[in-house]
Structures are given as C-alpha cells and as structure tokens.
Amino acid sequence: MKSLLPVLTVVGAILLLWVLAVVPMNMHLTADQAQRDGLVVSPETPAARQEYSGLGLTLRNPKLIAATFVQERPRLPSPHQVAVEMWNTIVLKNITSKRSLVYHGWVTLSATLLGFGIGTSLGILLAVGIVYNRAMDMSVMPWAIASQTIPILALAPMIIVMLGSIGIQGLFPKAIISAYLSFFPVVVGMVKGLRSPDGMQLDLLRTYHASPSQGFWKLRLPASVPYLFASLKIGISASLVGAIVAELPTGARAGFGARMLVGDQYGQPLVTWAALFAAAITAAALVGLFSLLERLTLRRMGMVQA
Amino acid sequence: MSQQTIINAQGLDLTFQTNDGPVHALKDVNLEINKGDFVSFIGPSGCGKTTFLRCMAGLETPTAGTLTVNGMTPEEARKARAYGYVFQAAGLYPWRTIGGNIRLPLEIMGFSKDDQAARVERVLELVDLAGFEKKFPWQLSGGMQQRASIARALAFDADILLMDEPFGALDEIVRDHLNEQLLQLWARTEKTIGFVTHSIPEAVYLSTKIVVMSPRPGRITDVIESPLPKERPLDIRDSAEFIEIAHRVRDGLRAGHDDV
C-alpha cells in the first residue's frame, strides 16, 4: 500500500498529458465537423486549416476545445470515452455477445494460458537439459537467443498458415506463438537458478554421497524457485503479447487482437482503444497474480523474512 | 584407549594445474591421526591446510602418496559416509527449517522417519539448540547457524568430524563460547576431529595435536602434542603451559615463513 501514492501520481500525470493531447490531436476533425454543422471556423477552408498545426488551430478556435473530447471517431479518444466504451463492452454487454470484451478477453486469455503452460514446461525442460548435459549446454542457448531475435510479427503468420495447412486451427496455433515468446525468459531464469548453488553447497552433498537426482530435487530445484518466479512474471506478459500478435495477421474473428484490428479497419478507434486497455489490464492482473503467488510461495518456503 | 590410527597420510603430494601454471598445494605431507584425537591444522593462507582436510574428505585427490581414512581410501570413506564435514559458512538451506536442514543428510542416507526425528532432537540438544527445530535459518544468529551446521554433521553418527575454519566468520565472544561447547561435545561423543583454523589461541585451546603448516609449497613444519589436560576451562588460556605451547606454534609459523 506504500506504493499507492506514487502509482496514483504517475497515473494522474499520464491522464493529464493524455487529456491535453486530445485537443490538438482532434482539432482538425472537430473543425471540419463544426463547419458542417454551420459554425464559423477560422480559417474557413479545410485546405487552409491543413497549413496549421493542431495547436495553432486550437489557438485560433478556442471555442471548439470542448467538442474535441466528444468526437464520434476521434483520432485520439479522450479518457472518458474509452472508459465509457469499456464499461459498455465489459459490464453492460452479455458475455456471450460477440461485442463483449469479456468474451474476446477469454478467447485471448485461453490461448495465453495454454501457450504459457507449454512455454514454461519447455523452458524448464530445456534448462534442466542445459544444466545437466554438456552437449545441450554448448548448443541450445545460442539457438534460444537467436529465436528471440526474429520479429514475432514476421514469424506469427507463417506459423499460423503452416499449422492451418495441416488442419490445426483456432486455439493451438495462437498458443504456439505464446509459447514461443514465453519459453525464453524461463530458460534463462531457470538455468541461472539451477546453477545458483555454490561450490560449498555442492561439496556438502558430495560429503553425503548424494545421488545426482537427490542433488536436483533437494538442492538445485528449490534453489531455483525465486529465479523461476521472476521468469514467470516476464513469461506470462510475453504470452499475452504473443496471443494478441497471433490474432492480428490472420483475420481472427475473436480475441483482443481481432478487436484491435476491427477497430482499425472500420474506423472505430474507441473499439481499438478499449481492447488495448483491456489487454493491458489483463496483463497487469496476470503479473500481479504471479507476484502474489511468488510472495506466498517464498514465504511458505521460508525464503523471505515474514 | 587403544591407539587406533584413523587417518594416515604418507608422502602426500598435490599439485593443482591452474591457468597461471601448476600450484604445489601439498608437498610430502606425513601425518597419523589416532582415534579420539582433536587435531588442529594451523598456518597462513595458502599453506594447504584446507586442501589437506579436503583430501581426507575425498573432495580433492592427491597426485602422489597414500592417504587412508578408517583403513579405506578417502573416496571409499566418503561413500561409506565415514565423516561429517563442517564448512566455513553454515550453508544452511534457506528453504528448510533448522530441523529440515539437519534431516537433509538423513533423508539422503535413507534413515526412517522415526529415526530422523529422534536424531534431529538429539543433535539439537547436543549443540544447545533444543526448541529451534521449526525456525528458519534467517531467524537465527550467525553463531547459532554454525551450531546448527555442526548438528547437521553430527546427525548421522560418523566417527570423524572434519571442520574447515567453522568459527572463522564469527566474533571473538561467540567464538570463545563455541570453542568451549565444541570441547564438551568432543568429550561426550569421543569423535576424532580435524579442525582447520588460523587462530593460535583457538588451536592451542582445542587440540590434543597441533599441526603447523607453511605455504609454497604447503607442508607440515611442526607437530605439537599438547600436554594440556582433557578438561579445559576457558581460563586455562592464562596458564604458563598454554602460553608456552602458543609460543611454540608461533615459532613454527615464523620458521615456516623464514625458509621460503
């Protein structure tokens, strides 16, 4: 709760900046509309107005400022418009409706969670392989790093089209993209975690003549738990990004990505912005959930001072 | 008590190959340790005292010479779990309670659950930590943590206890207290103890036999059989005998330095 005030301060600053930006961003649109409605606008032709910046036009037409906040198809929606759109599509719409953000959110979230599960499992397996197998130690990491340098926007359509051509559609291809993004932080974190026991701790197990599997279950695995949680928090947000990106290039009909695309293509910025915010809130909630799990787990393990 | 040799080193040599060339860590080391001895290894950094202890534990392999522990090679002795080893740092697992840490070797060695519980209780009593079983390491002071690590080394009843500067990181007052407790523990358990230190008073106070070592190459320069009685109150350190032995140790250390 100590962080509440700083967080609110930052949110307030962002909102203020946003509100201030709405006026010049929407001023040209608003002036055109006002002229059609029979108001006097200066200068008088759209071509002449193009010569002015948003700010310049605002200074010449201060009476139009209020109208910039309530445009139907604004270039930059105002905060309250986005809030109203979100209220309408999250709370007021039946969740089975194709226009409900809860419905679209679940479509994206299910792919996110499946992909995150696959990515995390794969990441842990690879990390164990890297730590225990010299050949994997030498070979896997460069490929894992290379995999993350390919722009996912370029790769996602290929994967989805390829899987589609062998009859795999829907949830699974999206989950694959999510897994592709989320396995990497898990590999990196788990390799570091599994290697975190120092020479003394390993020597101690040697004096007990412990088997390699005892060393894994009793020392390396528990020692890696804090590292795992740090990776999971990065991995879950990467998963969500992956699922959204996977919805963009393929004309998906449902999901946050599909809503963003629809809003863009049909000139409904409010739809895009509402989906954008819903996705951000979902990501924050997922990361928050894992932070909570981390705190509970580490406290239960005795690794943080209660 | 019969003089049974527990550890026997003859012509021990160990050279490490490092990036800066070979390092001669041990040279022609000969030593016999009898059952029930409390042997301290003292010398400046780099004299090979820790390396020698690690050889006995089978954690390092000598390049020449013979070394037996309980009549076996150190490797076999390690596999037979012949010794308990106490490191410089307590090295307790932070995710295990004190009891859980002491159970660690017992779990690995396959003791039954009932036996584990009984042993944990007994060794906690032995190191004066009864009642701390359910605490986590961070809830204990440094000295208490080190005592818990000694309890962990005692839990599976090995006859030999190898200790590598176990109290090196603790302050003088705590160290005095732990030295006193260690002597009591030794008297009660009749274990054979190998103890690495670079504190002269600590070595003289604890030991029946003081092995003085010197560096480059690491070797033994003097072995002093202590005439002090087995019962040693802390104020024995003010007696003439104690000061005389401490003097001889200091001389040995200095001699080791001079002829380099």
Q: Are residues B228 and B143 in the same domain?
A: no
pLDDT tens for residues A70-122?
988 899 999 999 999 999 988 888 888 888 899 999 999 999 999 999 999 99
Over chain B, what is the mean pLDDT? 88
Using an 8 Å CB-CB cutoff, list chain A residues near B87.
Answer: 200, 203-204
Percent of chain A topping pLDDT 70: 98
Residue of A nearest to B97 (CA): A302
Q: Are residues B170 and B77 in the same domain?
A: yes
Q: Are residues B133 and B193 in the same domain?
A: no
Task: Determine the Cα–Cα distance for residues B178 and B193; give it in Å rounded to an integer.
Answer: 15
pLDDT tens for residues B53-99?
999 998 999 999 899 998 899 989 898 888 999 999 898 999 999 99
Task: Determine the Cα–Cα distance for residues B72 and B159; give it in Å rounded to an integer.
Answer: 14
Last residue of a domain, one of B105, B129, B157: B157
Residues of B with CB under 8 A from a CB of A: 57-59, 78-79, 81, 83-85, 87-89, 91, 93-97, 104-105, 107-109, 136-138
Residue of A nearest to B164 (CA): A200
ipTM: 0.88
Residue in the structure block whose two tokens are 């599994």: A194
With CB atoms and an 8 Å threshold, state whether B78 touches A207: yes
DSSP string, chain B: ----EEEEEEEEEEEEEETTEEEEEEEEEEEEEETT-EEEEE-STTSSHHHHHHHHTTSS--SEEEEEETTB-HHHHHHTT-EEEE-SS----TTS-HHHHHHHHHHHHT--HHHHHHHHHHHHHHTT-TT-TTS-GGGS-HHHHHHHHHHHHHTT--SEEEEESTTTTS-HHHHHHHHHHHHHHHHHH--EEEEEES-HHHHHHH-SEEEEEETTTTEEEEEEE--S-S---GGGGGSHHHHHHHHHHHHHHHHHHHT-
Q: Are residues B69 and B99 in the same domain?
A: no
Using an 8 Å CB-CB cutoff, list chain A residues near B95.
Answer: 222-223, 225, 301-303
With CB atoms and an 8 Å threshold, state whether B93 touches A222: yes
Chain B within 8 Å of A305 (Cβ-Cβ)? Answer: yes
The answer to whether position B259 is within a domain reads: no
The nearest CA of chain A is from the CA of B199 a distance in Å of 22
Last residue of a domain, one of B135, B157, B179: B157
Using an 8 Å CB-CB cutoff, list chain A residues near B83.
Answer: 207
pLDDT tens string for chain A (306 positions)? Answer: 678 899 999 999 999 999 999 999 999 999 999 989 888 888 888 888 888 898 999 988 888 899 999 988 899 999 999 999 999 988 888 888 888 899 999 999 999 999 999 999 999 999 999 999 999 988 998 999 999 998 888 888 888 888 888 988 888 999 999 999 999 999 999 999 999 999 999 999 999 999 999 999 999 999 999 999 999 999 999 999 999 999 887 767 889 999 999 888 888 899 999 999 999 999 999 999 999 999 999 998 888 765
pLDDT at B2: 52
The answer to whether position B66 is within a domain reads: yes
Domain residues for the domain of B152 are 92-157
Chain B within 8 Å of A240 (Cβ-Cβ)? Answer: no
With CB atoms and an 8 Å threshold, state whether B105 touches A208: yes
pLDDT tens for residues B152-188?
998 998 889 999 999 888 888 888 888 888 898 898 8
Using an 8 Å CB-CB cutoff, list chain B residues near A204.
Answer: 85, 87, 91
Q: Are residues B246 and B164 in the same domain?
A: yes
Q: Which of B63, B69, B34 is nearest to B51 (CA)?
A: B63
With CB atoms and an 8 Å threshold, state whether A207 touches B93: no
Residue of A nearest to B161 (CA): A207
Q: Are residues B38 and B76 in the same domain?
A: yes
Q: Are residues B74 and B172 in the same domain?
A: yes
Domain range list for chain A: 4-75, 101-301
Predicted confidence (pLDDT) at residue B196 exceeds the cutoff of 90: yes
Q: Where residue B213 sits, what CATH number does that domain have?
A: 3.40.50.300
Q: Are residues B169 and B232 in the same domain?
A: yes
Nearest by CB: A209 against B78, B97, B138: B78
Residue of B nearest to A213 (CA): B108
The answer to whether position B187 is within a domain reads: yes
- Indicate the fold that domain A101-301 takes in CATH: MetI-like fold (1.10.3720)
* pLDDT bracket for residue B134 (50, 70, 90): very high
β-bridge partners, A196: none
Q: Are residues B66 and B185 in the same domain?
A: yes
**Total tally of structural domains belonging to chain B:** 2
Chain B within 8 Å of A213 (Cβ-Cβ)? Answer: no
Last residue of a domain, one of B133, B157, B181: B157
The answer to whether position B87 is within a domain reads: no
Q: Are residues B169 and B58 in the same domain?
A: yes
Q: Are residues B131 and B194 in the same domain?
A: no
Residue of A nearest to B60 (CA): A203
DSSP string, A8-77: HHHHHHHHHHHHHHHHHHHHHHHHHHHHHTT---SSSSHHHHHTS-HHHHHHH-GGGTGGGGG-SS-SS-
Gyration radius of chain A's alpha carbons: 25
Label the pairing between strands B160-164 and B83-86.
parallel
Give the mutation candidate from A205, A208, A213 for the B interface (greatest B CB count, under 10 A). A208
Chain B within 8 Å of A199 (Cβ-Cβ)? Answer: no
Nearest by CB: B136 against A204, A206, A302: A302
Task: Determine the Cα–Cα distance for residues B82 and B79; give it in Å rounded to an integer.
Answer: 8
Q: Are residues B16 and B59 in the same domain?
A: yes
